[in-house]
Amino acid sequence: MLRDLILKNRSYRRFDQKYSIDCGTLRELIDLARHSPSGSNLQPLKYILSCEPERNADIFSCLRWAGYLKDWPGPIEGERPTAYIIILGDTTIRKSLGVDPGIAAQSIMLGAVERGLGGCIIASIDKEKLRKDLQIASRYEISLTLAMGKPIEVVQLEEVGLDDDIKYWRDEYNIHHVPKRALDDIILDI
Amino acid sequence: MLRDLILKNRSYRRFDQKYSIDCGTLRELIDLARHSPSGSNLQPLKYILSCEPERNADIFSCLRWAGYLKDWPGPIEGERPTAYIIILGDTTIRKSLGVDPGIAAQSIMLGAVERGLGGCIIASIDKEKLRKDLQIASRYEISLTLAMGKPIEVVQLEEVGLDDDIKYWRDEYNIHHVPKRALDDIILDI
């Protein structure tokens, strides 16, 4: 059921780096995005794949991880993502990407979870460095980086408390806690 | 499999208006969005449900349908959506919604398809009228309207031709054809 996939699809940031992902799998995931809705059917999104250690390291060096975990600079060597999909917008097709990147990212991440993988949608990117390192032409707007791997962390959902604090946090056992707003708090009664 | 759901999840614009959708189903769908990723986990999205004919008609009057079908002003009475979910952004939580609405919309639409429903993500909205008709407070940015119902139209995918034309079209049998770019055309070889 979709609900099981969605519940399993947490933002994972620590992976078994011994587990590699082949580019064929990434192509399958992009094919899910390809068949997902696109505003005015313009399909301006383009994708860069990465499943090799060297390119993975280049991309990793451009990412900022888990803003709320002030003492955690990101996954250590051995726990880093083993694949990436970078979502670009081809500005010669459309200047504004609208909601297309979000739709595509969700299709890809759900597909990853179905394959026993997982990852994190990262918008906090040093885009200038990434563009230079990967020689991304100026016609492509860098939208998102999807970091993927075999997750090794436990992510636990809980309800936002009375203090309305949505910041995720890690406990002494390294369990990652994520507060979610209650259903009745996000449905407007008009 | 997710792929089957994604392939079945076409943008449907004609429905069996005799088939009503209850608000409990809409709440289930929003619960899928609630458990989907949100940038910095801020969860700024709020939702308005509609499953009653009167409110449905109000919302319908604010939507623009299928821009490429110049001779078709939208579904006729009897073929209109029987439910809507309006996605709003609470600007007191976050000014820019980023990719959150796209992620939420895809979760909701896939959930609808799993339930034998279907619909269309509509960004072309008379927002001023919608805000007035539904008395939506100014703190909420109107992002998307998801129109839903029991689809009665056949949507057929095909590959974009050499003319690079992505406009969807309807044939003499009212089959809706949607050209999609080929996988190799959207993956950059860098």
Over residues A132-188, the pLDDT tens digits come to 999 999 999 999 999 999 999 999 999 999 999 999 999 999 999 999 999 999 999
The mean per-residue pLDDT over the stretch A69-93 comes to: 97
Q: Tell me if chain B has a CB within 8 Å of the CB of A152.
A: no
Distances (CA, A) of B35 to A2, A83, B96: 11, 24, 20
Helices B100-114 and B23-34, axial angle in degrees (round to 10): 130
In this predicted model, what pLDDT tens digit does every residue of B102-117 receive, in sequence order? 999 999 999 999 999 9
User: Is the pLDDT at A66 greater than 90, yes or no?
Assistant: no
Say which residues have a Cβ less than 8 Å from residue A160's Cβ, sequence separation at least 6.
Answer: A166, A179, A180, A181, A182, A185
Determine the Cα–Cα distance for residues A87 and A77; give it in Å rounded to an integer.
24
Percent of chain B, pLDDT > 90?
98
Number of C-beta neighbours around residue A53 at 10 A: 13
User: Is the pLDDT at B18 greater than 90, yes or no?
Assistant: yes
- A100 contacts on B by Cβ (under 8 Å): 102
Radius of gyration of chain A (CA): 17
In this predicted model, what pLDDT tens digit does every residue of B117-164 receive, in sequence order? 999 999 999 999 999 999 999 999 999 999 999 999 999 999 999 999
The mean per-residue pLDDT over the stretch A59-85 comes to: 96
Residue A56 has a pLDDT of 98
Distances (CA, A) of A82 to A16, A59, A111, B117: 8, 11, 16, 37
- A167 contacts on B by Cβ (under 8 Å): 41
Say whether A120 sits in a helix, a strand or coil.
strand
Q: Tell me if chain B has a CB within 8 Å of the CB of A95.
A: no
User: Is the pLDDT at B190 greater than 80, yes or no?
Assistant: no
In this predicted model, what pLDDT tens digit does every residue of B22-72 receive, in sequence order? 999 999 999 999 999 999 999 999 999 999 999 999 999 999 998 899 999
Nearest chain B alpha carbon to A42 = B166
Residue A121 has a pLDDT of 98
Is B70:B76 a contact under the CB 8 Å cutoff?
Answer: no
Residue A190 has a pLDDT of 75
Question: Which of B156, B181, B189 to mutate: most A Cβ within 10 Å?
Answer: B181
Distances (CA, A) of A50 to A67, A150, A161: 24, 15, 39
Q: Tell me if chain A has a CB within 8 Å of the CB of B11.
A: yes
Tokens of B169: 């079209």
Tell me the sheet residues that pair with A89: A45, A141
Average pLDDT, chain A: 97
Report the relative pairing of strands A155-159 and A140-149 from DSSP bridges: unpaired
Distances (CA, A) of B154 to A87, B15, B163, B167: 30, 11, 24, 16
Is A105:A121 a contact under the CB 8 Å cutoff?
Answer: yes
Nearest to B11 by CA among B143, B114, B83, B109: B109
